[in-house]
Amino acid sequence: MKQTTKKEKFFEESLKLIHEKGFKAVTMRDIAQRLDFEPANIYNYIDSKQALLELYLFDISYEFHDSLNNILKSSYSPEEKLKLIISTHIQLTAKKPYKMALLVNEWRNLKEPKLTEFTEGKKVYENKIRDVIAKGIEEGQFRSMDIEIATYSFLSSLRWIYDKYTGSESKINPFELEKQISDFIFTGMGK
């Protein structure tokens, strides 16, 4: 039995609204209307519109960093690490697709100093991925290629996945998705 259902509903519906219309396009009045109460009511739950975005973004961002760090701490090979990264990325995205969508599309709307904090974290994350790939090439598990482009390609192969878990269509099985994405990243489309 959940408590404070109204507060939870607020955060849930606001998140979806921001995903649907974009952060800048959503007004406090939009949110209020969706929840069927007056705009002033929102400030019982959150200090400002910006704070709302920050909350969503840093919450999911932390989870990704944390999960990545745990994988990196392990003694798995670079290839196994990448597979784990793919796996946990898809699991997390399947569980929190709307926050993931904000992470991809709305971080630009952060204001300083939060914007810098976020983009620095983003760089750190990407560099960690790049290091795994670099090591994998070095050790001969991956073929020789441009490391930066490989990093971008790898990350972009994961970035669109939230799209499969937002909306009302039947959701794809995360494990099947993981297999398909893994195959694409490691063996490509060719035979």
Partner DNA sequence: TTTATATATTAACATTTGTTAATGTAAATA
Partner DNA sequence: TATTTACATTAACAAATGTTAATATATAAA
Instruction: Give the residues lining the site for its own copies (CB under 8 A).
Output: 22, 24-25, 79, 82, 105, 108-109, 133, 136, 140-143, 145-146, 149-150, 152-154, 156-157, 159-160, 163, 176-177, 180-181, 183-191
Q: What is the largest CA-CA distance in the chain?
A: 61
Picked from its own copies, DNA, none, the partner binding residue 50 (CB below 5 to 8 A depending on kind) is DNA
Residue partners of 83: CB distance under 8 A and separation at least 6: 182
Q: Write out the DSSP string of 39-79.
A: GGGGGGT-S-HHHHHHHHHHHHHHHHHHHHHHHHHS---HH
Which one of 40, 112, 144, 189 is in contact with DNA (CB under 7 A)?
40
Residue 12 or 183: which CB sits closer to its own copies?
183
How far apart are CB 186 and its own copies at their closest, in Å?
Answer: 4
What does 159 interact with, of its own copies, DNA, none (CB < 5 to 8 A by kind)?
Answer: its own copies
User: Which segment (37-45, 71-79, 101-109, 149-157) binds DNA by CB under 7 A?
Assistant: 37-45
Q: Which does 188 bind (CB under 5 to 8 A by kind): DNA, its own copies, none?
A: its own copies
From the number of C-beta atoms within 10 Å of its C-beta (0-12, 13-18, 19+), residue 76 rates as middle
Give the one entry of DNA, its own copies, none that residue 189 binds, where binding means its C-beta sits below a cut-off of 5 to 8 angstroms depending on kind. its own copies
Contact positions with DNA (CB under 7 A) in 123-162: none
37 lies in the binding site for DNA (CB under 7 A): yes
| Helix locations, 77-113, DSSP H | 78-95, 97-105
Nearer to DNA, 23 or 165 (CB): 23
Judge whether 126 and 151 are in contact, CB under 8 Å: yes
Q: How many CA atoms lie within 13 A of 146 on its CB side?
A: 4
One-letter identity of residue 13: E
Displacement of CA 62 from its chain's centroid (Å): 10
Position among 33, 44, 70, 116 found at the interface with DNA (CB under 7 A): 44
